[in-house]
Chains A and B, each alone.
Chain A
Amino acid sequence: MKVDLIISKARADGRELLMEDEAKEIISSLGIPVTHCLVARDEKEALLQAEKIGYPVVLKVRSPKIVHKSDYKGVVLDIKNKKELRAAYREITFRAAVLDGEAAVTVQAMAAKGLETLIGATVNKQFGPVIAFGLGGVFTEIVNDVSFRLAPVDPGEAGRMISQIKGCRLLQGYRGSPAVDTGALAEAISRVSNLVFEYKEFAEIDLNPVAAYPDGVLVLDARMRLKIGEMPANTR
């Protein structure tokens, strides 16, 4: 239900791209933990939201015109107090102003360090909905260590996606680092695969990074793109 509403709103705005807070709301509705985004439209509101969450926090630019937030230096991590927050807010909105004078920000909790993974989904021309899993961050970009399946997958098949990647040993605990919760990862992969399979509106889903911990996972960033020019969601 929530998914339909969010999709309809984006369609009504003429947007294919969902905002991070919208995408995370969808992911959260699937029962997958996320760092929640509190939207702030000015500095005062940003301070209030940070107060609510408790420091340290993360500040990210929020604009339908900015897809890759980091590319525009629109993300500031590990903000420890009001002073840092004010500075971060000014920096981010100043840089964003070039593209979007009305850019807002989101305030999020600073997550504990985990192992960065990614869960992606795309609609392939030949196969239809496809789900992907890999190690996040530099591993994605350099090693290209990703496994694919036709969506949907059950948690068992998702588990095989995890054990298939070369970097799986990192997930199983390596040189003193603890093993991460691959069960929770598999469950998350499976749920995202169901989402992209059931809602024909999605063109692309990119959860990256998804932090994996010894007990559970946490989605730190999420992007979702809808198919171009389709009617509001009613496809379930």
Chain B
Amino acid sequence: MERMRSLFYPRCVAVIGASDSPGKIGYNILYSLIYGGFKGKIYPVNPRIKTVLGMRVYSSVNEIPDRIDLALIGVNKNAAVEAIEQCGRLGTKGVICIAGGFRETGDEGLALEKKLVEVTKKYDIKLVGPNTLGIINTEASLDATFYPLRLNTGGVSIIAQSGGIGLQIIKKLTDEGLGFNKWIAVGNRSVLEIADYLEYLSDDAGTKVIGIFLEGVDDARRLVQVASEVARRKPVVVYKVGQSDVVNYAAITHTGSMAGSHRLFRDIFNQFGILLVESVPELVAACKALLLCPPAAGGRVGMYTYTAGPSITALDRLAERKIDIPEFRAETVFKIKSLLGENPLAVLKNPLDSAGVGNLAETYGKLAMTVLEDPNVDILATFCCVHKNWRNPTPELVDAARKIRKPILACYISTLQESEEDRKILQSAGIPLYNSPEEVAWGVAALAYYAAREGACGEGRFDY
């Protein structure tokens, strides 16, 4: 764990193969470190240049006057193995090998990768990659990728088996008004496996929720066992790609076509209580709800809206996931009538649709509160459409969240920009704001899943 820590919290970082040409990876690794605001020492290494970005360049790692905690390897695959050997001799604990061209390219690459693994074993080096975008730790302002980013810190950590999808998740989290904590593109997983990162994040104080993008792993048995253990402490959400792929599944009947791998994955992940989602937006929606909301006591959802479509859309998504939409208690219906009159133009069942009478913020707040207070309801999903002349019910929802400790998820139909202020206010009060009914349903489903999970994670993930 100490060695894993040096990957994420290094004091001194060497960039091996730092370049002065902005088109090159070696330049952008260095640039990303600086742009991201890394506070530790940075040592560029390249025997062919003297300075880059105003920094002195060392001709070899041996010249560096400090002990290097983390080496970012920006040189090509052949030079990389030699460079890692040099780092190992100097006692470097953490290495990120960006270069590709290993086992993914055939036998020659595989042989080189074996050599790489031997070197890391010899010096007990924790190696990320090879063939990776790198890692990010916002808590240490460490952007150890070749994508210069400036990012807010937050409670979600991401393990991605693809740099590209990993970036997509970052962008979506940012759009959703969330920062993130640690981000790892695992690359070829020659030394560190997904389960190793999971174990590290399990003990990482800054990580409250873990999102994983998965293509496929060699030891899926260990992965589900570790993920299941970790999910007892903090929520784990997995997006597994390759749903149509039949991965070497030996057929168990003579028809030879019994099952695709996705069904197998889905059943087994479920067996181990690991939430499986179907897309990046769902992954982010789920992480968001699990991060911001207090844990749900149960999975029963109450809904409030004044426009039917969004609630029906959400119902569809919830029904697919077998989420319970309970009847309201009689006293709830009574309360609604006392607010709206005996025969209001409204649908007085769950989802409560106040149609033409519940659009103004004050009434909206009272009706949402009434649904939230119903003892049959564990989670409230509430919908509104942002309007030029009508105030949003943001203060009312914040007030409801303060009074009753049940998850509230809001869906404002609007552009990202239109609801930016409301998003900040609601989300600081523990109410995730979504801009589509599908996303609100995915958030609800994630909370319901963890409420039903045996040995679910408890309190303590409220702050973000």
Where the two chains meet, the residues of A that have a C-beta atom closer than 8 Å to any C-beta of B are 67-68, 71, 118, 120-128, 130, 132, 140-141, 144, 146-150, 153, 157, 164, 203-206, 208
The chain A residue with its CB closest to the CB of B271 is A149
Count B-side interface residues using an 8 Å CB cutoff.
25
**Which residues of chain A are near B334, meaning CB under 8 Å?**
none
B219 part of interface (Cβ distance < 8 Å): yes
6 closest A-B pairs (Cβ-Cβ)? Answer: A120-B252, A126-B220, A148-B267, A122-B250, A127-B220, A125-B248
| Contact A132 B268, CB 8 Å, known A126-B220, A146-B259 | no
**Which residues of chain A are near B271, meaning CB under 8 Å?**
149-150, 153, 157
The CA of A128 and the CA of B222, in the complex, are separated in Å by 10
CB distance from A207 to the nearest CB of B (A): 10
B217 part of interface (Cβ distance < 8 Å): yes
Name the one of B247, B251, B259 contacting A148, with C-beta atoms under 8 angstroms: B259
A sample of 10 more A-B contacts (CB under 8 A), given A120-B258, A205-B252, is A122-B249, A122-B251, A124-B248, A125-B247, A127-B221, A141-B253, A148-B264, A153-B271, A157-B271, A206-B252
Of the A-B pairs whose beta carbons lie under 8 Å apart in the complex, a sample of 26, sorted by A's number, is: A118-B253, A120-B253, A120-B258, A122-B251, A122-B252, A123-B250, A124-B248, A126-B219, A126-B247, A127-B221, A127-B264, A128-B221, A130-B264, A130-B268, A140-B253, A144-B258, A146-B258, A148-B259, A149-B267, A149-B271, A150-B224, A150-B271, A150-B272, A157-B271, A203-B250, A206-B252
**Which residues of chain B are near A118, meaning CB under 8 Å?**
252-253
B214-272 residues with Cβ-Cβ distance < 8 A to A are: 216-221, 224, 247-255, 258-259, 261, 263-264, 267-268, 271-272
Where the two chains meet, the residues of B that have a C-beta atom closer than 8 Å to any C-beta of A are 216-221, 224, 247-255, 258-259, 261, 263-264, 267-268, 271-272
Q: Is the interface of A mostly helix, strand, loop or mixed?
A: strand
**Which residues of chain B are near A149, meaning CB under 8 Å?**
267-268, 271
Name the one of A125, A164, A206 contacting B253, with C-beta atoms under 8 angstroms: A206
| Contact A140 B258, CB 8 Å, known A150-B221, A150-B224, A150-B272 | yes
**Which residues of chain A are near B221, meaning CB under 8 Å?**
126-128, 150
**Which residues of chain B are near A146, meaning CB under 8 Å?**
258-259, 263
Asked if B252 and A132 sit within 8 Å, CB to CB, the answer is yes
| Contact A148 B268, CB 8 Å, known A127-B220, A127-B221, A140-B258 | yes
